[in-house]
Chains A and B, each alone.
Chain A
């Protein structure tokens, strides 16, 4: 019997952050969680912005930096849009064995560096949305996984900020990830979106799109995090109960930590900094720190049980 290819050593923990409903605080969660792992715990983290709205990119990079890195000629770094284009050019050249498009480092921009940890960004661009209209590309979603495999020794964790639409970018996020994290705003429409996401993963993705290598674990829902949480609202209490029920049916654990609703997050995004750097004494900074610890504990416990 042929042996299955083994998982490459050090393939990082890759988590797609997804909700098919927009406006639930997905990017805020993704940016603060990724940055927090590097800042508080010295982890080596990559954030992949796969949403054509490019909000994670705008959250993390000051405008001057963006101009000086991506908009000069020749650009110092390239975005995920250029990564897709590089793959397409290789396809057009009808190369049989597809080589790496170029040095993967050209796609990675350092955002934060501590003494041991760091956060890198694969930036997005609005043009990414145009790729969704190109035909004949339905099965070609391995670009992000290629990038992560190419730089796997450099990172402990990769978070993918996936778009809130069923699209090529969402499928590329699933193709690269082994875990899905769901941000959920406690309101009625969010609770409707959860079974829809489950269906997209199980049916559209797993049955029709997936081309996962055999060494990858099946895509699993890591859990659900309540975002834009305001416990003073009746709607929050009612919707939280309903969402917990739906999450239970989906076997999706609910994180104890929540991220509250606050304009301070909008302020921090305007400063291109996570909340714990703009408002370090705020309760929102504490919430993020607590979520980061809970998130990492989950992986550490799983690693311990795998080793036993």
Chain B
């Protein structure tokens, strides 16, 4: 493809950003994966992925939705993003990678031990967005349960902390 084709595609992607729908982003990703290779493909996929998260967030805050009127897909995605961006959750990268492979599936996550923590988190968000609906809900439930379990406080610990 020529540079002009690439620019036209970026323009289409930006157009998508104006009318957010998960399906159109999926179609754009699939088109890029078929039509581009190597560095161009990686760069374009990165653009789509970043835009999708940004546009999702903008659409959500513009609507000023809360838990009351957010669709279940909305709050699941928001919660997954919040969990993955919390560096206190599974702070060791290897532990995080093992857990995410289990939740999303190794083939969907496409992350390797050589990736940085940020790269693993980015790939996990992308994988989550691409999961089909029932798998996505199951992944959300596993992730959320593990996250909440890891945050338990004990009365004795707090009393030790307070008296230190």
List residues of chain A with CB under 8 Å of any chain B CB.
36, 39-42, 54, 58, 62-67, 71, 112-116, 126, 270-273, 276-278, 280-281, 285-286, 288-290, 292-293, 296
Given contacts A62-B88, A115-B53, A280-B79, contact A270 B67 (CB under 8 A): no
List B50-66 residues whose CB lies under 8 Å from chain A.
53-54, 57, 61, 64-66
In whole angstroms, what is the CA distance A112 to B85 when docked?
9
What are 22 contact pairs spanning A and B, CB under 8 A? A40-B61, A40-B67, A42-B57, A42-B61, A63-B153, A63-B161, A71-B161, A114-B57, A114-B85, A116-B57, A271-B151, A271-B152, A271-B153, A273-B148, A278-B148, A280-B75, A280-B79, A281-B72, A286-B67, A288-B66, A288-B67, A292-B66
Please state if A293 and B66 are interface contacts (CB–CB under 8 Å).
yes
CA distance A64 to B153 in the complex (A): 9
Q: Kindly identify which residue among B54, B69, B154 contacts A63, using a CB–CB cutoff of 8 Å.
A: B154
Residues of chain B within 8 A of A63, CB atoms compared? 153-154, 157-158, 161
Q: How far is the CA of A272 from the CA of B157 in the complex (A)?
A: 14
Q: A40-B66, A62-B151, A289-B67 are in contact. List 4 more A-B contacts (CB 8 A).
A: A40-B67, A65-B88, A114-B82, A116-B57
Q: Are A115 and B66 in contact (CB under 8 A)?
A: no
Contact A62:B164 (CB < 8 A) given known A39-B82, A40-B65, A290-B66: no
A42 vs B82: C-alpha distance when bound (angstroms): 12
The reply to whether B153 and A286 form a contact with Cβ atoms under 8 Å apart is no
Contacts of A286 in B (CB 8 A): 66-68
Complex-state Cα separation, A293 to B69, whole angstroms = 12
Contact across chains for A285 and B67 when beta carbons are under 8 A apart: yes
Whether A290 pairs with B153 at a CB distance below 8 angstroms is no
Residue B162 interfacial (CB < 8 Å) = yes
CB distance from A189 to the nearest CB of B (A): 27
Are B79 and A41 in contact (CB-based, < 8 A)?
no
State which of B64, B81, B86, B153 has its C-beta within 8 Å of the C-beta of A270.
B153
Top 8 A-B pairs, shortest CB-CB distance: A289-B66, A285-B67, A286-B68, A289-B67, A115-B57, A42-B61, A271-B151, A276-B67
Whether B161 pairs with A67 at a CB distance below 8 angstroms is: yes
Q: How far is the CB of A284 from chain B (nearest CB, A)?
A: 9
Contact of A36 among B66, B79, B81, B157 (CB under 8 A): B66
Query: Do residues A280 and B153 form an inter-chain contact, with CB atoms below 8 A?
Result: no
Say yes or no: A58 contacts B153, CB within 8 Å. yes
- A40, A58, A67, A271: most-surrounded residue (chain B CB, <10 A): A40
Which chain B residue has the least Cβ–Cβ distance from A275? B67
List residues of chain A with CB within 8 A of the CB of B161: 63, 66-67, 71
**Residues B158 and A115 in contact, CB atoms below 8 Å apart:** no
**Cβ-defined contact, A112 with B82, below 8 A:** yes
Q: How far is the CB of A118 from chain B (nearest CB, A)?
A: 11
Please name the residue on chain B nearest to A278 by beta carbon.
Answer: B148
Are A126 and B57 within 8 A (Cβ)? no
Q: How far is the CA of A270 from the CA of B155 in the complex (A)?
A: 9
Specify which chain A residues have a CB less than 8 angstroms from the CB of B158 in the assembled complex.
58, 63
B162 pairs with A289, CB closer than 8 A: no
| Residues of chain A within 8 A of B75, CB atoms compared | 280
Q: Which residues of B contact A292 (CB under 8 A)?
A: 66
Query: What's the minimum C-beta distance from A94 to chain B, rounded to whole angstroms?
Result: 33
Q: Which chain B residues lie closer than 8 Å to A116 at the CB level?
A: 57, 61
**Chain A residues with CB under 8 A of B81:** 114-115
Contact A272 B66 (CB under 8 A): no
Q: Which of B10-63 contact A (CB under 8 A)?
A: 53-54, 57, 61
Q: How far is the CB of A283 from chain B (nearest CB, A)?
A: 9
